[in-house]
Structure 1
């Protein structure tokens, strides 16, 4: 079995950094905000729905659930994220916790959302098992993951540039792939084995509107854990080459500007607890 201790430590360290958390909320999340309505709709949130927002981050999905009338509890391991969430969404309750070992009774919730949190935990199947445990029969789960190979995406622009131009000595510890659970061929069997049925996947064409073709590089550098851990330690020469590669990709795919719509699409997977 793969030892994910280092991966777990990296995720906690990076997301607990107030600068990373703030940069994600202020810039990177302009794309993840576009996925919130799909998550809220997929769990059929409404008046009186008891909803658990796992890996809630700065609270953007929680805000969507509250707006739909749900009674919301948000859980995250990052105090920095939770501080922002409590300010942004006073109508929800936020607690620090571990998505792989939830401190809730069985069958507590009608809905569980996970906005881009699945790739950031060492054991995604365990998180999905916990989601099923705390859901009532008939309850709904929905989670979002950025699309992977084959999608025209800023994520590809950045990580392909790192692979081509980054210092090969700068690597990530073993852990889940960043886009693994965007693939229904992987996600659906895991869900079904943990007590879910009626699995469904939809693609949301989320994107950033930017006035700088280097924006995707900057957003990953400053406001992500996995990307930031690869980008921040790069020697100046490598960092310059990575940034230039990202700019080249944006200009080639999306024109000469002065403004660009840079896609970073996401898949929203949903299912029902049985």
Structure 2
């Protein structure tokens, strides 16, 4: 396990409920397209890696698929089992999965690859567990980010927040361009074929209170960064967030936050 992986475990420990109440609805947007890309339908044996609160697993089951899902965080697994009792959901993490070679017809991962310390190794493991000819479909956040994705970062910078040393970056030799060609090249590098990638764009609507609740509770990297600051800096972050969020608010105070993600698929 890399230092980045260890940091991710710390960041997400016990955060399932807070995530479900804040960013889960945002991350659910590409689920239908993700399952379409993996050609998930009745009788398909689907592996959902990094299931979180079980959103993808539940959607795959609704299509008649047989679903196995994992997440590295036990509190997420607990939520996912409640969301979709008919799926086989267990605690496990990339890049070492407790499954046989070619065990699944399709593999899906919704915003998972950005949470692993060795993305190429993780993809090779996903290739191992899908059958020859089976599809792997993945989403990750795109770079450069859309305007709605920059709101929290702008507030952090305006407040003078400092990244603490216990939050390591992904090793440079493991990183890759977060654009269509960069993700396609990474899929090809592990021997996948028929690669394809598109950029999804959508407006996420949420109240300022909902959008702030995630980082306030320490959800994801940004939330952990917020909680790592002094009380004075945290107050400044919130003050700047309140001001900047007005740029995205309508007359009812609801934020319209443009987002962009990459959706890629490839075949073993």
Match of 2:192 among 193, 196, 214: 196
Match of 1:173 among 156, 168, 171: 168
Distance 2:260 2:104 in 1: 29
**Structure 2 residue aligned with 1:74:** 69
The answer to whether the 8 Å contact 1:54/1:113 transfers is: yes
Q: 1:201 Cα deviation (Å)?
A: 2.1
Q: 1:169 Cα deviation (Å)?
A: 5.4
**Structure 2 residue aligned with 1:209:** 205
Q: Secondary structure at the match of 2:211?
A: helix
Q: 1:181 Cα deviation (Å)?
A: 6.2
Q: 1:218 Cα deviation (Å)?
A: 2.8
Q: 1:28 Cα deviation (Å)?
A: 1.0
Q: Secondary structure at the match of 2:86?
A: coil
Deviations 1:195-242 (A, max 9, x none): 212222233334442233x54333233252311220112223222222
Distance 1:206 1:54 in 2: 23
Deviations 1:64-99 (A, max 9, x none): 111111111001111111011111101110121122
Deviations 1:1-50 (A, max 9, x none): xxx73322221123221xx2111112211111111111111101011111
Segments of 4+ moved more than 6 angstroms: none
Match of 2:100 among 105, 127, 134: 105
Q: Secondary structure at the match of 2:169?
A: coil
Distance 2:178 2:86 in 1: 30
Moved more, 139-148 or 251-260: 251-260
Relative to 1, partners in 2 of residues 1:208 and 1:227: Cα closer, same or farther, differing over 3 Å? same
- Counterpart check, 1:239 vs 2:238: no
Relative to 1, partners in 2 of residues 1:270 and 1:247: Cα closer, same or farther, differing over 3 Å? farther
Unaligned runs of 5+ residues in structure 2 are none
**Structure 2 residue aligned with 1:7:** 4
Q: 1:61 Cα deviation (Å)?
A: 0.7
Q: Secondary structure at the match of 2:101?
A: coil
Distance 2:11 2:81 in 1: 20
What TM-score results when the alignment is normalised by the length of structure 2? 0.89
What TM-score results when the alignment is normalised by the length of structure 1? 0.88
The 5 A counterparts of 1:250-261 are 250-261=245-256
Deviations 1:104-158 (A, max 9, x none): 11111111011111111111111110111111121111111123325222x3111
Distance 2:210 2:241 in 1: 9
Number of equivalent positions: 265
The answer to whether the 8 Å contact 1:35/1:206 transfers is: no
**Structure 2 residue aligned with 1:271:** 266
Q: 1:180 Cα deviation (Å)?
A: 5.6
**Structure 2 residue aligned with 1:187:** 183
The answer to whether the 8 Å contact 1:77/1:96 transfers is: yes
The answer to whether the 8 Å contact 2:180/2:199 transfers is: no
